[in-house]
Structure 1
């Protein structure tokens, strides 16, 4: 029989669940993580991960027990403030009962030693998280794959800072979201230490391990722009990513200063269905490099997520249009300035496509099964285009830059955006947002 940890004395209901309306089983209540310190060792040949996680958190209520999200690892030891703590694993939850209750407002430390085979989290979107490549590792955790490699409070609003030390065989390069602060080589293995100082959601932390060469994407400047490329793809990548500095400059002109110190674009030596963003990083497949710039719009899309999704993170997954609508609209803006189709034309094309091919969807709350539906992306972008037409470009882009600046490294909601946009319009915007966000039927395209 599985032992049962006593329930929390005086705890609020749902302390083992997040407040996210779409994925309440991921994330936890009762506390707020401030910092993760991860010391990890990975053996590529056996796909074995082990190490220690030290988590610093602040209690938001009196806690006699609490939980974290963690995949199917073997947990050898758990300590709270240095004292051994009872623990129980059930599914992807790690339940912890400290020796002494934690008072509301107290800062506490959790040390967890664990090891095992890191496996992606399986679900409605397939396998998400830590994944083996043919020769290396890829971590793409959106929306719920972070527990596949470290214990965490896995919900988008749970931003924290990080230190990640990872030791692997020296033949491999290691890239972790954050700034590389040290690296030392031992007998056959190298330890890489990265720090992520900006508040970051667990799903946006990423590890990439492979036989990569580094390629500069821009001249030395305030923002480091680099790509990690398999040697065989270097020539094609040099052309496909050759306009990256121009793309960065365009995004900054429209959205404001890039919110991090670095940007690393990783091209895995395997094929991927879709690229995905992490904090200060984007991950592409070898199939996205063809020497013809076929997938340049995706390069733009993932870079735009550094503003929308990473710096400004949705407080709840139902607001995902704020990530994907802006990233899709960034594609249209780049097309307009780089000699491609203007945004007006692309808006008309996608409006026509949605009119005949997409079922009605409430963009503001599409439901968990439709949160990654293309209609959320395209209709989200059309919402922004309609808003641009309504208020004029002279107000729209200052509104966007202010949106980014005022909410940097914080969480946002659709309600926040509506209120913010209204500040930049002399006319009421309630009708526009009701038509484009709240109503399933597709409204006419504004002229």
Structure 2
């Protein structure tokens, strides 16, 4: 087992990893930018190293500084957390080159699943359904337009190196295709350093269902069930997730989860990861992408299974075999997570930075809070706007909804704008309470004003 781990991240996920490591009697090193000098993860770690200025490029994306921090503090492993370098194959490779264990999947798996075109081809070969579309990178506008017309509008133009809801454009009319293609290519180049895009048929109405995978380095792969992540903004940013997915028949659930295991095996995967699917109203499903890292919404899976995903990431990276088989995994009750963020729904969810004067977060039976904020915490303008993840559990979905509504009523955050009231509207919606969820839910059922 590792003696000391550096957490190459910030915010609530850095706090989450530090807590898991401490329970495993592993020393931790926090890295931080100049803007995060007083952050909670910096306070909780055994050691801390400043790695650069406030901007991400100079700090949390500065691989050289992070690796140097790991070496000078005597670490034997690095946990990438979520975001920043967490799906950067070159960073994982550099860790190995200097003798540091990367707590995540093999470099080849990251590369394979990070290239969305190669991922589609791999899934198709493994018998995992994929959305009709192209398995080649498209650069020539004329060729791309012909292919889009053959697929049939509406179509989605997606960045080949994309992820996290970025690099996606929907084209409904053929006349709009050339301009949108150019915009998508420019965004892909800016966001991912790669202008390659591909085209998929756009399915108008669907649910976003993802399956949590856990695999070790000895060929053992299990799934920990599915999560419904359909409640998203128009920019594909998730707001509420739950496990298990409501109104999903058992046969469909089994087919989706079995496909996720096949996908992970085809990718040669080891560590925690997530296979994401588009699920149509008739429960037909298609592979969307694989996230080769921990997900923000991982706590709801931990809540219904009792399996600590972060600890198992660490154990798998240290060479341990999974201690349970698929048959031994049990799911109990229902869990829901709310992503409480410093965003203003009245201003198209614009970020809100500033000092938190007062904060009160909920508690009680069946409530878990993952956060890095406290009274006096300065919400910086440079990073993700996440303030806290509120996770609730109850024996059934109705109980979990009631518990979350109680929790949201207890929240008080003064000093920055938040999406708290918007979340209250979601849970008050009759359609939400019935579980009638699609990715168009928020636009259809929830008024931001």
Q: TM-score, normalised by structure 1?
A: 0.28
Q: TM-score, normalised by structure 2?
A: 0.28
Higher helix share: 2
Higher strand share: 1
Structure (1 or 2) with the larger CA radius of gyration: 1
